[in-house]
Amino acid sequence: MYNFTFHRPTTVRQAAGLLARNPEGKLLAGGHSLLPVMKQRLAQPSALVDLSQVEGMTGVELKGRSVVIGAMTRHADVAKSDVLKEVLPGLASVPGSIGDPQVRNRGTIGGSIANNDPNADYPAACLGLGATIITNKRRIAADDFFTGMFSTALEDGEIIVKVSFPIAKKAAYEKFKHPASGFALVGVFVSKRGPDIRVAVTGAGSNGVFRVKSFEEALKKRFSPKSIEGMTIPASGMNSDIHATPEYRAHLVGVLAKRALAKATA
Amino acid sequence: MTANGIGAPVRRKEDFRFITGQGQYTDDVVRPGETRAVFVRSPHAHAKIKKIDVAAAKKMPGVVDVLTGAQLATDKVGNLICGWMIHSKDGSPMKMAPHPALAASTVNHVGDAVAVVIAETTAQGKDAAEKVVVDYEVLPAVVDPAKAQAKGAPQIHADVPNNTIYQWHLGDQKAVEAAFKAAKHVTKLDIVNNRLVPNAMEPRAALADYDAGNDSLTLWNTSQNPHVARLVISAFVGIAPEHKLRVIAPDVGGGFGSKIFIYPEEVVCLWAARKVKRPVKWTSERSEAFLTDAHGRDHITRAELALDSNGKILALRAKTIANLGAYMSTFSSSVPTYLYATLLSGQYDIPQIYCEVDAVYTNTVPVDAYRGAGRPEATFVVERLVEVAARQLGLDPTDLRKRNFIKNFPHQTPVIMAYDAGDYNASLKKAIELADVKNFGKRKRESARHGKLRGIGYSTYIEACGIAPSQAVGSLGAGVGLWESAEVRVNPTGSVEVLTGTHAHGQGHETTFAQLVSERLGIPFESVSIVHGDTDKVQFGMGTYGSRSGAVGMSAIVKALDKIEAKAKKVAGFMMEASENDIEFKDGKFTVKGTDKSVGFGDVALNAYIAHKFTGAELEPGLKETSFYDPTNFTFPAGCHICEVEIDQETGKTEIANWVAVDDFGTVINPMIVEGQVHGGIAQGVGQALLEGAVYDANGQLVTGSLMDYTMPRAHDLPSFHVGLTETKSPSNPLGIKGCGEAGAIAAPAAVINAITDALGTEDIAMPATANAVWQAMQKHPPKAA
């Protein structure tokens, strides 16, 4: 690890100021992706701006017909939120599948979304529910937020403050874990909220999380696994590595979508 | 049996300090003025070193020195060696290329060390290491051992044509050919035994301290065999004479073979400590461990089994290419030869066996012994062949095994080993009962109803442990004897210290060895302490590997205890004014035969030291005895593992639905510890079969270079094991012990793959059988509906 300065602001404004003064700085929001690469000397931020003490950035709240989760809420706390388990169990199941207990007790939703790892779980949930990412500057629809592998619509100095998830009547996440890392080799989030039907896939695409429009179209008739029976997505554009071929990933998208639908409609 | 004696499931003494974080590992040892070593490693698999410029690095803050391979050569530090000579078929000796601790002219694998920075802190060392400028001329690399032998392949070492270290064979080729010609049925298999990365929980570490006043060196390191380390570093590397080098292997957190070997880093730390006149410490990081700890396995094999029309095995033939990596590690030559081909008879009466092995250099991390070492590879060959032959002949796989089991002992196999005892039917029968094989069909149909394929696989394995009779291994090329030593020191107050040449790094010797002494001397288990791992305290010993510590190490203790008893009887005789021949020893009491006169062990110990009851002319004072025990044969643990799997047809994911292990380890000292060893071994074997596998790309980069890509088995990958024992005592050592440390890792891979292939209905699946691999196999060979 290279040397860096460490800052621990208590307000979002302070954090934004620190970030502005440290153009080579990084926000620390749990650090379970950032710190390992720093230890390996693959990242060299000049400063870390730790968000853990910033007020008002944690908690799961019911607000009208949405659930709002503070960006610094740890995975373990989201997983055990009674409110969330009651109104949106499909989302509540996501953080419990992330990493191991250590990761779940340090890692945060904001950190995960801002990093947009192509195998991370939360991006699928955000896109699969049509969430709104609320920053210190604006509100960004999930459909506009995830712009590619490890890249997002966030601008310099922009900090995710909270994420608002509309409560979908039917929603579920199905994940096939990467055998070594525990990330999603493929993960599929499905939801139905009135006419809005979403099928979002993480882990599979070489450009990060994406929606499967063909499945969504087919599910408009009936939101059921049967509606996409026999449907597949093309293997082109799928990730390829020693753990899964593009064909296998494409196949898993279909299998997991059906399983998620079965869970959502059970 | 006493409460804590032989056969009692005593809780492990050492666990208190481990569980409460009070273990003392190499990295925990801190010497005044200690510096840190950071190695500069090659990013290339194969390259010429044109120039190394250390000037900028030397100017970095906190840097004590920067040393290179050229200086190592100037100081005449010797190369690392492989200590087991193998001769090729044509009689020529194996071609061992030089292995300097720091590469000076050529790097031969990614991670090969070219320089070392000695700095005040690791962070400063790393900063400086980045400033070392190495000018490489990148050469073509080869990682596949078959390709390494091909014409035109990159030549890794001078004087090793076709990168071939040896072409060895064992058995009667002509007789085997004749048997195959006469056979009614031949089963053929192409087998890859996947390369594994050991990943002991504690990474390797070394701390070297130079005492200028005495011109002596002390090395703390993560070793399974500190005396062997001292011997090699003295006699071959030439760092210091044996009496000027103390090697201490304190608590060591797992070895699995990977900590047997003498590595460049410990040599460099010793050399550097003398140069900078300060202690030098190096602790491997996990990513460094992936690139430098000796890997395991990595065989490519063509195997064939010849049978007659009744399913009787006539002969076995195997041709193996073994990848030994970039350099020959300390015992690497023995693993694919005498630890492998000699086990190809399995549990079966096979009249003829012939095995050829080519050992090959590649631009990969050196490969050496890893839990089982050769025997898992042999078991996989034999047990896959037998299972597939049964399927091809339409026989039940247990039936084919029973038809061929060895039933009479001793049994001389055609591949050197003489099995001394066993009952293979007994373990198979017990395993079949525990696994409820008779209801397997019902379970298979139930699985099918849920879209799952169910399969059952057997592995009736054998291993040669209790390594080893010195004369026998000497005749096969070993550079050392493989006896073991023990010293039993009885203190004046009657407590006992046992100094053993074995080394514990997870095995629980502090408990099991104390159980033996407690039972034998009739003293409390708590009054016995076990000392190991320090060449200044313990007389020469050979260390721990090959499931040898019970069979060989405890036998040495028994021998020393025999001497203690004999001497104590003499003391008791003087105390009770009786002839030593009239003294009986039982339950910690010395009694004059036929009388009620007796003295306790504690009294005798005290009298041995105060020496008031006998003159110096009559008897030497003291009660301390030493022994060196050389076994008369290997031991032959054997057993039957049955694995049942359920495969998700949609995803290809395999779940282990049930596991039964019935093992014959001879005498069991502590059944709880033995069960733990079996669990750990199975976990590693399942890891190999389902999850683990080192993958190199064509340029020699290790793709699976971290735990994010290399899959270690986790608790959720494994079921609760059903473990049973049968017992035939080993006739080759006084306690009848056979050894249990490697059995699980040896038995498990074949059981898993036999179960998966049973479920899928195709033999076309390699290890690791990941979900991806199983799904691909199902695309190629669609399984029949159950």
User: What secondary structure does DSSP assign to B279-326, as a single string?
Assistant: -EEEE--HHHHHHHS-BB--EEEEEEEEE-TTS-EEEEEEEEEEEEES
Q: How far is CA B341 from CA B300, B337, B345, B360, B362, in A?
A: 14, 6, 8, 17, 22
pLDDT at B3: 83
Helices then strands, each counted (H, E), chain A: 11, 14
Q: Does A176 touch chain B (CB under 8 A)?
A: yes
pLDDT tens for each residue of A190-239 = 999 999 999 999 999 999 999 999 999 999 999 999 999 999 999 999 99
- Examine residue B475 and state whether it is found in any structural domain, yes or no: no
Tell whether B666 and B776 lie within a shared domain: yes
Cβ contact A180–B707 (<8 Å) = yes
Residues B717 and B600 in one domain: no
- Quote the ipTM score: 0.96
Instruction: Answer yes or no: are the C-beta atoms of B485 and B366 closer than 8 Å.
Output: no
Q: b/e string for B385-405 if b means 16 or more Cβ within 10 A?
A: bbbbbbbebebebbebbbbbb
User: What pLDDT digit, counting tens, does each position of B304-347 carry?
Assistant: 999 999 999 999 999 999 999 999 999 999 999 999 999 999 99
**Looking at the 3D structure of chain B, how many domains does it have?**
3
Neighbours of B474 (CB within 10 A): 14
CB-nearest partner of A181 from B708, B770, B772: B708
Same domain, B698 and B758: yes
* Of the options 3.30.1330.10, 3.40.50.720, 3.30.465.10, 1.10.760.10, the CATH number for the domain spanning A60-264: 3.30.465.10
In this predicted structure, what is the pLDDT of residue B785?
63
Subunit contact A1:B712, Cβ cutoff 8 A: no
What's the pLDDT tens digit per position in B549-595?
Answer: 999 999 999 999 999 999 999 999 999 999 999 999 999 999 999 99
Which residues of chain A lie closer than 8 angstroms to B709, CB-CB? 180-181, 242-243
**Closest partner residue to A248 among B126, B703, B772, by Cβ?**
B772
CA–CA gap between residue B307 and residue B184 (Å, rounded) = 6
10 Å Cβ neighbour count for A194? 8
Q: pLDDT tens for residues A106-115?
A: 999 999 999 9
A243 and B695 within 8 Å at the Cβ level: the answer is no
Chain A nearest CA to B429, separation (Å): 35
Check if the beta carbon of residue B256 is closer than 8 Å to that of residue B250. Answer: no
Q: Do A243 and B772 touch (CB under 8 A)?
A: yes
Beta strands of B417-539 (E only): which ranges?
418-419, 452-462, 484-490, 496-500, 528-531
Q: Which of B287, B772, B779 sits opposite A244 (nearest CB)?
A: B772
Same domain, B541 and B594: yes
* Same domain as B575, residue B488: yes
Q: Check whether residue B696 and residue B718 sit in a common domain.
A: yes
What CATH number is attached to the domain comprising B502?
3.30.365.10
Domain that holds residue B561: 483-629
Q: Rounded to an integer, what distance in angstroms lies between the CA atom of residue B42 and that of residue B46? A: 9
Instruction: Answer yes or no: do B709 and A243 touch at CB < 8 A.
Output: yes
Contact A41/B at CB under 8 A: yes
How confident is the model at residue A217, as a pLDDT? 98
Q: Tell me, what's the pLDDT at A82? A: 97
pLDDT of residue A68: 98
Which residues does chain A have within 8 Å of residue B691's beta carbon, measured at their own beta carbons? 179-180
Q: Does the CB of A255 have a partner CB in chain B at under 8 Å?
A: yes
* Contact with chain A for residue B651, Cβ under 8 A: yes
Query: Are the C-beta atoms of B384 and B270 separated by less than 8 Å?
Result: no
Q: Does A232 touch chain B (CB under 8 A)?
A: no
- Give the rounded percent of residues in chain B with a pLDDT score beyond 90: 99
CB-nearest partner of A248 from B703, B711, B775: B775
Measured distance CA(B153)–CA(B150) in Å, rounded: 6
The verdict on B452 and B381 lying in the same domain is: yes
Using 70 as the pLDDT threshold, list the residues of chain B that sit under it. 1, 785-786
Q: What is the pLDDT of residues B491-507, one digit of tens each?
A: 999 999 999 999 999 99
Q: Is the CB of A4 inside 8 Å of chain B's CB atoms? A: no
Domain with CATH 3.30.465.10 in chain A: 60-264
Is there a single domain that holds both residue B621 and residue B646? no
Residue B7 included in any domain: no
- The answer to whether A41 contacts B126, with C-beta atoms less than 8 Å apart, is yes
- Domain assignment present for residue B576? The answer is yes
Q: How far is A89 from chain B (nearest CA, A)?
A: 24
Across the A:B interface, residue pairs with CB atoms under 8 Å apart total 42
Asked, for residue B99, whether it belongs to a domain, the answer is: yes
Angle of CA points B542, B330, B498, to nearest 5°: 15
Residue ranges of chain A assigned to CATH 3.30.43.10: 5-50
Instruction: State whether B771 and A176 contact (CB < 8 Å).
Output: yes
CA-based nearest distance A180→chain B, Å: 4
Residue B155 lies in a domain: no
Domain boundary residue, one of B248, B283, B318: B283
A130 vs chain B: nearest CA distance in angstroms? 28
Tell whether B719 and B774 lie within a shared domain: yes
Domain end residue (candidates: B595, B629, B663)? B629
- CB-CB under 8 Å, B707 with A248: no
- Structural fold of domain A5-50: 3.30.43
Residues B402 and B272 in one domain: no
Q: Say whether residue A245 is in contact with chain B using an 8 A CB cutoff.
A: yes
A230 reaches B (C-beta below 8 A): no
Contact A180 B711 (CB under 8 A): yes
Residue of B122, B647, B650 to mutate for A, most A C-beta atoms under 10 A:
B650
Is residue B428 a part of any domain in this protein? yes
Whether A252 and chain B come into contact, CB under 8 Å, resolves to yes
Pick from B629, B662, B690: which residue ends a domain? Answer: B629
Averaged pLDDT of chain A: 97
Is B183 a domain residue? no
User: DSSP of B677-725, one letter per residue?
Assistant: HHHHHHHHHHIIIII----B-TTS-BTT-STTTS----GGGS--EEEEE
The answer to whether A1 contacts B123, with C-beta atoms less than 8 Å apart, is yes
**Residue B456 and residue B403 share a domain:** yes
* CB-based contact, A253 to chain B, within 8 Å: no
DSSP conformational letter for B92: P
B496 and B461 both lie in a single domain: no
